[in-house]
Structure formats: structure tokens, C-alpha cells
Amino acid sequence: MHAYRTHTCADLKKENVGDTVRLSGWVHRIRDHGGILFIDLRDHYGITQVLCDPDSPAFADVEKVRSEWCIRIDGTVKARDESLVNPKLPTGEIEVFVRDLEVLGAAKELPLMVFGDQEYPEETRLRYRYLDLRREEMQRSMTLRSDVVASMRRRMWDKGFREYQTPIITASSPEGARDFLVPSRLHPGKFYALPQAPQQFKQLIMVSGYDKYFQIAPCFRDEDPRADRSPTDFYQLDLEMSFVTQQDVFDTVSPVIAGVFEEFGGGASVDDPASWPQIPYKEAALKYGTDKPDLRNPIEMQDVSEHFRGSGFAIFAKLLEQDGTEIRAIPAPTGGSKRFCDRMNVFAQKEGLPGMGYIYWRDKADVLRQELGELLQQKVKAERKQDLGRVESLAIRIEELGAEIDRLEAEASSTGKRPIEAAGPPTKVGPERTEAIRQQLGLGVGDAAFFLGGKAASFQRVAGKARDVIGEELGLTEKNRFAFAWIVDFPIYEKDEETGAIDFEHNPFSMPQGGMEALEGDPLAVKGFQYDLACNGYELVSGAIRNHKPDVMLKAFELAGYGEDEVKKRFAGLYTAFQYGAPPHGGCAAGIDRIVMLLAGTSNIREVIMFPMNQRAEDLMMQAPSEPTSDQLMELSLRVIPQE
């Protein structure tokens, strides 16, 4: 018999009844039923119920075990009584009577329980991650991650790609985040960098003639943490191709991503890759307030500036007198109540804006009926008080309202349209403009619209979040679906509002649309062959067709303030390689952590990383970062300057 097990804790079935078996695992749960001890024994594969009574020679040893002890048992497989079968377990038809037990690893009192669904602070979970990882939910997530990576590899090989490894210790490169620097012992005062991405190396692989490259690549960026981003390192499916256009990249990677989501998405619908829209960056910013829109939400924002320009709503009218300002509307179908509008206004204030203007549309006859009901109640009270003057004035108003309601009903009957009344501060623009806004947004009775104004950069982020919140709260965002969209035509450059300096807005190695000719004009008008793939509000893929021409590369970096000497020094390998027959090439990278996060149904990326850092970029389990010893610093010719 094997030293530790003949079967896993998921193997045994009814046909094993009568067999002598050996199992090893952890004590998941212990139950004492009148002197008979039951243990749920757990390993990576499943759970088997084992039991022991005083007739067993191992009974005294079984009495001593506690939760999460690692044990080995020998025993006989028995069939459970029909009434005690557990259909939720693959081993639910059997149990094992224990005849021998060996403690392989006793456990101290646990800082967190593995059994059950207890909630623990994240700091505790990360400090004792090895215990946290024993939990069923975490085992599922890590298995999912492993299976997703394996699936990606198979799919890439099936498409004719080969996996090549690129260096982990390299030179610094401007990828949009801070480098992790590594001091050199052999070259005092000089530093390597951990790669933010294999960007330059995969381009050099194309120059070397390998045509199709991919890698499950570790990347290192010293970034501020977010729920959907690791502050130190992450993994991506990195790929590059030669002699391709932007559409070729889409046609290659889309089926890979869609296939992974179909395989591991738990039955959620996945949009057909052929139908994934290609949305220009500028359009995405306008309609969704973000370059990673959640298309499960049908709401699209619109520019309604013309309706407020020179209008009676002074706040927006004066705002529009300033250059570069606009008024944007967020339609809210079924959101036409003052309570909901006020709640969204408070949301905007919590996000740092003064608030949001709003208009909601009501059936005019229903508004009058509500007023009529209130007046009838007032009339009854006046009659009880015998306030005859009040009764008479109320009766006149009630009669007028009744006549007006009858007129509106007759009008609706003859025209087939219900008369609409708008409410909210922006209605000061007047009924004609209010109606024009409603018509433009395609709204009707029971609907609302919210308005934000100013320079887009000042409110766009909040507008995008408001769109998401409105979609969720009104039940407009479709569930159980993965909705994808390619975002294209990113600007290559951006302008610092304070200094006026031009810098790269996106990947600096991208080919500008129009080539050298485009770089001769306004840098802020230059678009790149750059693209992202968004899914359900997250960026999953980012890539570009690369700038492989040395003269275009020099000009592109010159516009961002990098002189020729600096380019040749910082990117010596890439720049020199382009002198020797570089092919047109392009590719992308898909964030594995974020993809698994979506598939696992969580919004916290640390739930799908085996050993993540906390929000302060600390490894509580391994006590990193740590202070170096004096000997280490001397060997590296370094000195630490104390922080005040």
C-alpha cells in the first residue's frame, strides 16, 4: 500500500464498498454523534466522510485530532444508509470506517477558520494566506486561474504561435508607470529594471524573423493599488505578430478571449467576436465617460449644449460662454421620480461635483390627479371645520382640475399620445427646449435625464460612474453576459495643462496613423494604431501596431521631448535593430489576473492571485519589503537616506 494514500478524497464510490483504503488530508470538520466520531476529511480534490466508534483500535487517537490537522487514515469503505446519502458530494454514497490513524501534521489554534463562510479582515487573510488558500472558494479560484492559463496556451499554439521567454532583468523603459529598479553589484551606481512589459523584446523577436510570439509573461510596475490592479506585479498573455494590420490582430486574439470566456464563464452569454464593436476613443469618452465601457448597460450619453446655450437656465448658459465647455446628458429610462433624481444628485456631490441637474417627465393628467386627490382631502378637512370660504374656493379649483383632466384624456384619446409635463431646475430653459431635449434623448413618461457641464475633463469620470450607477439601480444593466468592445483611435499625445508640455498619452512605440506626415501637424490631433479591448467595464487587452521605422520613431519621440541622442541611448537595442530590415508588426497583451477576476465573479483582483500584496504593497506573510543589512548595502555601493 502507498505510504500516504490509495485514493484521493474525491475518488471513492459505491463500487468501492468493502475495500480497504488509505486516505490523507486535512480535518475539515469534526462531529460527535453520541460517541461515534465523524470527520470530514478534505484534500485538494474533495471531501470524504470518515467515522470511528469505540470498537475501532484508532478511537483514542481520533478523539485527539482537531480542525486542520493533517492526518492519514486506513479504513474500510461502507455504504451509507439510503436516508443519509449526501447527493452534493461525489463521495456522498459512502463513508470510511477508520481502523488506523497517523498524525502527519498537527495544527495550533487557528487564526482563521477554513470550514464555513466566516468573514475575516483582508489583512488577516493575507498574513495567513496558506490557510486562506485552503478554503473551498479560494481552491476554486486558483484552479480556475491555472485552467485559464492552460487554455490560453493551447489556443495560442493552435493558432500557430510559439512561446518564447524574455528577460526579467533588463533596462528601464517608459511604459506609463514607475519601474522597480535593481542595483547592480558588478556596476556600482548603475541599475537594472524589472520589465513593465516585454515590449521591446517582443518587437526584437519580430525583427529577428520569428513571425508569431506569445508568452505568459510576468510584468512589474510600481503603481498605486486599486481593487482591479495589483500594486507590484501581474501576468499577461503577451503576443506579437509580423506583417499584420490592426484588424489582423483583432481577428487573431478575439476568438482566443471569447473562447476562454465561453469555456469558463459559467454559462454566461458571450458576444460573438464578429459582432464586437470598434468604438473610437473620442466617441467612447462622449457616450460612456470612459475608454472601458460596460456595454451591458444600454445608456449612451449625449451632448445637449445647444439646448442650453443662451437659455434661461443661467448656470449652464454662462458655463457655455467659456471656451471648451459642454453640457452632457445621461438618459435614465424609468428613473423619473424626484426621489431617484435627488439620490443621484447626492451621488455626484459625494464624487466631488456641486451636483447634477435633472429633468424628469410625468404624465400631465396623472400630476393633476395627484393634485386633485390632495385638494379633495383638504376640502373634507375644511368641511369638518365648517370653513365655508375655504370649502368654496377648493370646490372651484377641484372643478377646474376635473375639467382639465377630462380635456387631457380626450386629447390623448384622439391623438394616441399622453400629454407630458417636465419637472426639475433645467426646465427653466422653457417648454420648447425641454421638449427638444426629451426628443433628442428618446425619453418619455416616467423617464429622467441628468446633466453635467464644464470642460469634459472636469466631469467625465463622474459622468461615467453615474452612468454605471443609474444602469445598475434602474435594472437596465444586463446580467449573466460578457459584452466586449474594441476601443480604437487613441490619441498618441496629451498636453500637461499646467506646463503645456507634450508627452505620450499611450504606448510610445505605436505607429501614428498617417505616418511621418501626421507628425508634421498638431501633435494633439495625431491618432495611433492603438487599441484596447473592454469587457463589462474593465480593460482586458491593450495593444498597438508598432512604429518600426527609425525616422518616424525619432520624430514621434522628439514631439514628446526626447532628443535623438536620448532615444538612441535609452532604446539603443530597438532603435539599432530597426536599421536592419524591421518588418511591420503589432500585437497586444491580455491581463490574466483581470480576466480570471471577471470569470470568478469578483471585483477584487487579490481574490484570484495566490500570494498578493495588500493595498499598501506589502507582503504581510513574507514581511516584504524589508530593510537591507549593512553588508548588502555596502556590497551594492548604496546608502539609504532616512525619511523625515
- CA 596-481-486 angle, 5° bins: 75
**Contact predicate 359/424, CB 8 Å:** yes
pLDDT in tens, 63-86: 999 999 999 999 999 999 999 999
What separation in angstroms does the CA of 36 have from each of 31, 47, 50, 51, 59? 8, 19, 11, 7, 9
pLDDT score at 603? 92
Taking phi over 0 as left and psi of -120 to 50 as alpha, with beta for the rest, 203 belongs to alpha
DSSP state of 86: -
Phi, psi angle pair for 234, to nearest 5°: -155, 170
Give, in words, the CATH class of 139-280+485-617: alpha beta
pLDDT in tens, 229-246: 888 999 999 999 999 999
Torsion angle, alpha carbons of 565, 567, 568, 574, to 10: -170
- For a pLDDT cut of 90, what percent of the chain falls above it? 78
**Contact predicate 100/57, CB 8 Å:** yes
Minimum mean pLDDT range among 174-183, 184-193, 454-463, 520-529: 174-183
How many angstroms separate the CA atoms of 5 and 392, rounded? 94
Q: Which long-range contacts (CB under 8 A, 24 or more apart) does 520-525 make?
A: 523/492, 523/493, 523/559, 524/491, 524/493, 524/494, 524/495, 525/491
pLDDT score at 437? 96
pLDDT score at 117? 82
Question: Using 50, 70 and 90 to split pLDDT, how confident is the model at 397?
Answer: confident
- CATH number for the segment(s) 281-358+422-478: 3.30.1360.30
pLDDT score at 524? 93
pLDDT score at 406? 66
Mean pLDDT on 45-68: 95
pLDDT in tens, 347-381: 999 999 988 999 999 876 666 667 667 777 877 78
Could you give the 3-state DSSP secondary structure of residue 191? Answer: strand
pTM recorded for the entire structure: 0.89
Question: Using 50, 70 and 90 to split pLDDT, how confident is the model at 308?
Answer: very high
Joined together, the cell numbers standing for residue 337 give: 421620480
Mean pLDDT on 491-516: 89
How many angstroms separate the CA atoms of 373 and 379, rounded? 10
Instruction: Find the helix packing angle between 364-384 and 388-415, rounded to 10°.
Output: 160
List 242's β-bridge partners, or say none: 585
- The architecture of the domain spanning 14-105 is Beta Barrel (2.40)
pLDDT score at 380? 77
Task: State yes or no: pLDDT of 126 exceeds 80.
Answer: yes
